[in-house]
Amino acid sequence: MQIGDTSPTILVTGGAGYIGSHTVLALLEGGYQVVVLDNLCNSSEEALRRVEALTDGAIDFVCGDVRDSAELERIFTRFEIAAVIHFAGLKAVGESVRSPLAYYQNNVEGTLSLCQAMQKAGVKKLVFSSSATVYGANAPVPYRETYPRGNSSNPYGRSKAMVEQVLEDICTADASWSVASLRYFNPIGAHPSGLIGEDPLGIPNNLMPFIAQVAVGKLPELAIFGQDYPTDDGTCIRDYLHVMDLAEGHVAALRRLSVAGIAYFNLGTGQGYSVLDIVQAFERVTGRKIAYRFAERREGDLPAFWADASKAKKDLGWSASRGLDEMMADTWKWQSKNPKGYRG
Ligand code: NAD
Ligand code: UDP
């Protein structure tokens, strides 16, 4: 998709969330107009106000649910949408095991109603938030897009794999669809202003916000899940990438949506770091000590995975440019400026 004389309007579902808000910022900076649809079940409208302040831009915000077909129809009638970036969904692995229906309803049914509304409106360009989890437990590292989808151990992962299959089938049935399914590795960090960032409700499930909350004194210590994995230091290895790099990856993917069919892209750095690497990098960059103890392995965690990120570089002209130190510094800037997140 090219930016011509008029700025295309992008519908961003889940745009008030962590990755969504950073992507909305990158879109506004890239000259796009943005409509956000979000039910705020895991986010705050304040994030969008801050994005507007940072970019001097205006966002059309619709507070609503992606499963609400009537709401979607109103949006496609009111705005001339050129393409959709679909972030809206639930993402906590453990919660998905306890509440599978909520996960299939939000993630699968939500995408179905979105695609139906898109089809009806004749908008057939979509960027989807997928995940490295679709590779399943047995894929060799680094993960490559050519690998088949594997068996995920939880409903969250299965919901992403199901949606990819649905999108693939839609593209097979109708060659006028163009879809980019972006398989994120581990996004961390925040916009360098420290004004927007990750604001999990309750106790964080993910490593980086947990460390940041220990650093700010909100949580007493980090539990490191497992110290006997077959890695150099015994802790799990992941491919952490800066959320601004990830946001820019979406803009790069949007530009590719002139190509028909579905394409899969890993968005990662291609470099793995262990949990202890992350703790040490955070301490070094911020000068804060992180109290930690080793705990049992967390069920479902894989020992080590990272991306082969060469396809995104070749086909999208995108690669992650921000290193670990920047990820740590920006996480800390956000957390220390906003110890209570957007509710502070
Ligand atoms: P997030 O929870 O911060 O953002 C999701 C947003 O969607 C929230 O603002 C929430 O209020 C909204 N939402 C949820 N269900 C909705 C519904 N039914 N209707 C309308 N809005 C709804 O999460 P995030 O980290 O920004 O993740 C965005 C997407 O990326 C998700 O689909 C997630 O599964 C995927 N993803 C995230 C990660 C990660 O590590 N953060 C990794 C891989 C994939
Ligand atoms: N982790 C940890 N303690 C925590 C949270 C996470 O040791 O409180 C580890 C987890 O076992 C994994 C890594 O940190 O090895 C990244 O976990 P996260 O939940 O952030 O991302 P995931 O890769 O599971 O999606």
Nearest CA residue ID for atom 3, ligand 2: 224
Q: Which two tokens stand for residue 259?
A: 């190509």
Is 74 inside any structural domain? yes
pLDDT tens-digit series, residues 60-115: 999 999 999 999 999 999 999 999 999 999 999 999 999 999 999 999 999 999 99
Please say whether the beta carbons of 66 and 110 come within 8 A: yes
pLDDT tens-digit series, residues 156-182: 999 999 999 999 999 999 999 999 999
User: What domain count does the chain have?
Assistant: 1
Is 336 inside any structural domain? no
Return the active site residues: 156
> How many A from CA of 236 to the centre of ligand 2?
8
pLDDT tens-digit series, residues 103-142: 999 999 999 999 999 999 999 999 999 999 999 999 999 9
Question: Which structural domain range is residue 182 located in?
Answer: 9-188+241-268
Is 273 inside any structural domain? no
Among 317, 282, 308, 271, which residue's Cα sits nearest to residue 189? 282
Is 245 inside any structural domain? yes
Number of alpha carbons in the 13 Å side-chain half-sphere of residue 203: 8
Residue 223 CB–ligand 2 contact under 6 Å: yes
Residue 302 CB–ligand 2 contact under 6 Å: no
> How many A from CA of 184 to the centre of ligand 2?
15
Amino acid at 187: P
In what helix (H) or strand (E) does residue 219 lie, and over which residues does it extend? none
In this prediction, what percent of the chain has a pLDDT beyond 70?
A: 99
Is 260 inside any structural domain? yes
Please state the separation of Cα 84 from the chain's center in Å. 15
Residue 197 CB–ligand 1 contact under 6 Å: no
Is 222 inside any structural domain? no
pLDDT for the residue 5: 47
Q: Model confidence at 6, in pLDDT bands (50, 70, 90)?
A: confident
Please say whether the beta carbons of 13 and 19 come within 8 A: no
pLDDT for the residue 153: 86
Is 153 inside any structural domain? yes
Q: Taking 70 as the threshold, does the pLDDT of residue 2 lie above it?
A: no
Q: How far apart are alpha carbons 272 and 246 in whole angstroms?
A: 16
Is 320 inside any structural domain? no
Nearest CA residue ID for atom 19, ligand 1: 65
Measured from the Cα of 298, ligand 2's closest atom is 11
Measured from the Cα of 184, ligand 1's closest atom is 43
Is the overall model pTM greater than 0.95, yes or no? yes
Number of alpha carbons in the 13 Å side-chain half-sphere of residue 89: 30
Residue with tokens 């507007």: 52
Residue 110 CB–ligand 1 contact under 6 Å: yes
CATH number of the domain within which 120 lies: 3.40.50.720
> How many A from CA of 57 to the centre of ligand 1?
23
Among 192, 169, 89, which residue's Cα sits nearest to residue 133? 89
Residue with tokens 């969904």: 89
